[in-house]
Amino acid sequence: MAVSRSGKDESWSGRAAFILAAVGSAVGIGNLVRFPYVAGESGGGLFVIAYLLAVFAIGLPVLMAELFIGRRGGGTPIAAIVRLAKADGASPAWGIMGWIGMLASFGIVTFYSVIAGWLLYYAWVMVGDIAGNIGASGLAGLAAPAFASVGDSTEITGIFGELLSNPGKMILFHGIFIAVSTIIVTRGVKGGIEKAATWLMPVFFFLLVALAVISLTVGDAGAALAFLFQPDFQALARDIADGSILVNAVGQAFFSLSLGSVLMLTYGIYLSRETSIPGAATTVAFADTGVAMIAGLAVFPVVFQFGLEPAGGLGLIFGPLLLAFNQMPFGALFGLAFFIMAVFAALTSAISLFEVPAAWAKGDITLDEATRNKRRLIGTILIGLAIFVIGVFHALSQVPVEAGDNFFNTWQPFGTLPVIGDRTLLDAIDGLTGNVLLPLGGFLAAVFAGYVVTQSASREELGFKQEKHYQRWRFLIRYVCPAVVGLILVYGIAIAPFLN
């Protein structure tokens, strides 16, 4: 049965605007810090092949599914699912999928914003550094490396520890970041999210490519390319044997494409019928994967050039990368460009995560437009405040620990929570969203699109030009995606809590 939607929703101004916003959501901290390192450590070129498979065989079909569920259902992310379920004679209890996704989006944005605050702080530190250099030696100061006046390398990486032990600073920069995000989201889909993406993403791409070109030119391109792409059969075999390839490739593809959080479903609500979902989704997947690889080329050549060891996660940015900036000419300028780029990537992702609860607060299309607009405005401000407050808890739980992935493991105001062992609030939310909620949301989305929505409905929404392409999508979404994502879920619930 076709679903009729009454009421008007705001919509993207066109295909290009939607693609920019969706790429803005997909490209984020995940691409800059996680993919390049995991690729280097888990099999190089072989991992890249596994990742491409994960993106195109698992991520892309789910991305198409989320987009068409949102577009066909309309209203809020939850109402869209319930409406489609009812239309196809299924239980409205499917709405739980929307709640799970919304909880995941909200949970992620609370810590995403704190980390974005750190990046913003470093952009600020670089501005101060450059100003100091110019003050000391005029325009020639622009050529100085970053932190030229700071003594040795432990002092430079120690700046991060200082930040982590200073909740006031962290709260300030998290506060600035979330305030800007809130302002953007209150302005709505066209005037806020779309406008932000159209301004920020081109600058992001320009900086990314420029940094990669410079890094490849002045750095050790050979070592970086070997690290990223040289096939390493042994590493791949190890990761297949212990199952971590699943999380590394498929889990990363999910996080990177912003799936399982009903975020892309929400972006689908604003998508016009004229835009072809398969085409747009494929563009988003290519752009996101391309950015992840170029990010590796922007980071590793300079890291290897100065004989530094790559590190995982954020440890890379606040460790070896800072030391590289410290040793290269024009390092402060390079560093400033890097942090501005990272903040822009984080901002377009944070506003997309924020949009999910904001769209829910707006209410369904059964309400009149004036009420919905009012609800959206008030709801967005309240959600922004809630993100800020929870972020303050995250900031308060920071105590510097040695460089590595886990910066959040000392302050434990909530004692020991059963599922999450001895983790803090931030670790708990990170683990719960990444290991449980996102895979669960993705699993449900695949099952919903493959089994609940009728074949004629999904065929019509996706509008593949050739039937065989539709059949391929249907095969992947019915059998391959639920099986693989289901495995990740089991891994996330049963095995991951016992690691580390």
User: Can you give the binding site for ligand PFF, defined by CB under 6 A?
Assistant: 25-26, 28-31, 108, 255-256, 258, 261, 263, 349, 353, 438
Choose between 263 and 308: whose C-beta lies nearer to ligand PFF. 263
Tokens of 307: 């004989």
Closest CB 391 distance from ligand PFF, rounded Å: 16
Using left for φ > 0, alpha for ψ between -120 and 50, and beta otherwise, residue 454 falls in: beta
In the complex, minimum distance from the CB of residue 29 to ligand PFF, in angstroms, rounded to a whole number: 4
Nearest Cα neighbor of 160 from 121, 124, 129, 128 is 121
Least distance (Å) between residue 398 CB and ligand PFF: 20
Q: How far is the CB of 491 from ligand PFF (least distance, A)?
A: 18
Structure tokens at 436: 């449980």
**Smaller CB distance to ligand PFF: residue 430 or 461?**
430
Comparison of 345 and 484: residue with beta carbon closer to ligand PFF = 345
Question: Least CB distance from residue 166 to ligand PFF, whole Å?
Answer: 25
Nearer of residues 301 and 441 to ligand PFF, judged by Cβ: 441
**Minimum CB separation from ligand PFF for residue 214, in Å?**
23
Q: Which residues partner with 421 through β-bridges?
A: 417
Question: What minimum distance in Å lies between the beta carbon of 110 and ligand PFF?
Answer: 12
Residue among 47 and 255 whose Cβ is closer to ligand PFF: 255
Pick 297 or 347: Cβ nearer ligand PFF: 347
Residue nearer to ligand PFF on the CB measure, 356 or 462:
356
Note whether 195 and 187 are within 8 A (CB).
Answer: yes
Task: Compute the least distance from the CB of residue 258 to ligand PFF, in Å.
Answer: 3
- Measured from the CB atom, is 215 or 256 closer to ligand PFF? 256
Considering the complex, what minimum distance in angstroms separates the CB of residue 330 from ligand PFF?
A: 28
Give the residue with the Cβ less far from ligand PFF, 248 or 261: 261
